Chain A
Amino acid sequence: MKGVGGHDISFIDLCADLCSHCSGPLKRKEWREFAAFLVMYAIAFGLGLMYVLDIPIPSPMKGLQYLISDKLGLKYPQK
């Protein structure tokens, strides 16, 4: 039988986490809470997957730096 590796444990942990958090709003029929949780969870999962797979994640601050300092020229003079 194959042993349980780190990735398997992470996957089991993710599923357990998902189930435990879904059960509350589902039982109380709080659909809005359930939908918000699923959307945020999907974003977190997607970002986590990109990080693990070494896919570059665009940095919002790099974008702001480009817009504010490079395009608008709003920056303090360098020493």
Chain B
Amino acid sequence: MSIEKGRISGSQLLFMFAGFVQGSALLVDFTIGITEQQSWMVILAGLVMMVPFILSYAALAKRFHGKNLVQINDMVYGRFLGKVLSLYYIFFLSMTLSFNILDVGELYKNFLMPDTPFIFLLAVFAAACAYAVAKGIEVLARVSHLFVITGIFVIVSTFILLIDQMDFSNFLPLFELPLIRIIQGIHILSAIPYGETLVFFMIMGRLNNTERAAGYALGGLLIGAMNLLAVSVRNTAVLGRTQSIWTSASFQSIRLIDIGTVLTRMDFLIGIAQTILIFFKCSLFFYALATALSQLFGLKSYLPLILPLAGIEVILAATVFQSPVDHAVITQNAGIIYSSPLIYVFSPLTLLIAKIRSLPGHERGGGT
């Protein structure tokens, strides 16, 4: 039984992957305090590290064509263990969605609308995501290229406008950081912008052709990673070592744009682009959470769960961390450690077990 009838194409998957990773552009700040001027390296290293795991997601989608994560878990691990593992995934989806809603709230509270009540910002944003999710995955997929183009436009235009203020000696010295900080940086980058793509486990089942899913997923990941790299290079080249002292390095670097005293205060561009991209990312998380829960409960549709889930996520977002410092400290340690088994262990393990047990057996065959 499928709780979603919509279908998406391979190119739409590519744009969804790219937009999803772009939505984490502000989260690169989590590594800046740890890896400083070498953040660009950990972005690339994290990308390389995540490639085999993304390939395993695509291989699972191809093997279990039309099935979502909860159905795959039930088939591979059995009804009881499968449900337990699905609950773990659902907890991850729920927590990560609340963090992303909180990110938007903090973005608006700190930089754009400081006098607006925080809970109101969260509620309005969650309601917008709920509306998008209610329209279905097809609608989100159809507009995904617009989100990606908007993100690329803002990053490229701000990069060009800041070229005169860039000092590439800010990247020196190379390889001076202790290895453990590089490893932590790679762990953060691979777990947050790239590892969160396991949300596509709930989406890849909707692909109308899974034959080239791996190529589209990797292409989207690469586009998203190049955007993160451009953001990191821009911030380091403009701000240098001072980037680690700002609340948001991206906002601070964009504020330095001053072209003939006419083009100034361009930080609204980051505000607009990030709102759009985080909206897209949260909508995908929301969709995955609603469909996973509906599948777990054995419902015919995920629509009845959307509004209650939005309410729960808003309250979670408002209460999960006491302050932005608390947010950063917990995310840099427990936040990335608790999600590690889901990102690095269970998808290859599921694939291995499916291969050994020749799953999904005789049901397989609807490859295209």
Contacts and interface: CB of A to CB of B under 8 A. Distances in A.
Binding between chains A and B: yes
Q: From DSSP, what is the main secondary structure of chain A's interface residues? A: helix
A74 B304 CA distance: 39
A33 B301 contact: yes
B330 interface: yes
**Chain B contact residues: helix, strand, loop or mixed:** helix
Nearest to B301: A33
A63 to B, nearest CB: 9
A34 B308 CA distance: 12
Interface in A17-75: 17, 21, 24-25, 30, 32-34, 36-37, 40-41, 43-45, 47-48, 50-51, 57, 59-62, 64-65, 67-69, 74-75
Nearest to A14: B311
A64 B299 contact: no
Nearest to B304: A37
Nearest to A74: B337
B304 A33 contact: yes
A60 B315 contact: no
Interface residues of A, number: 34
Interface string B56-86: 0000000000000000000000000000000
B320 interface: yes
Contacts of B334: 61, 64-65, 67-69, 74-75
A79 interface: yes
Interface in B285-299: 294, 297-299
A11 interface: no
Contacts of B332: 76
A25 B320 contact: no
A23 B181 CA distance: 55
Interface of A: 17, 21, 24-25, 30, 32-34, 36-37, 40-41, 43-45, 47-48, 50-51, 57, 59-62, 64-65, 67-69, 74-77, 79
Given A64-B338, A76-B180, A76-B187, 20 more contacts: A32-B300, A33-B299, A33-B300, A41-B307, A44-B307, A44-B312, A51-B319, A57-B315, A59-B320, A61-B321, A61-B335, A64-B335, A67-B334, A68-B334, A68-B337, A74-B333, A75-B333, A75-B334, A76-B333, A77-B180
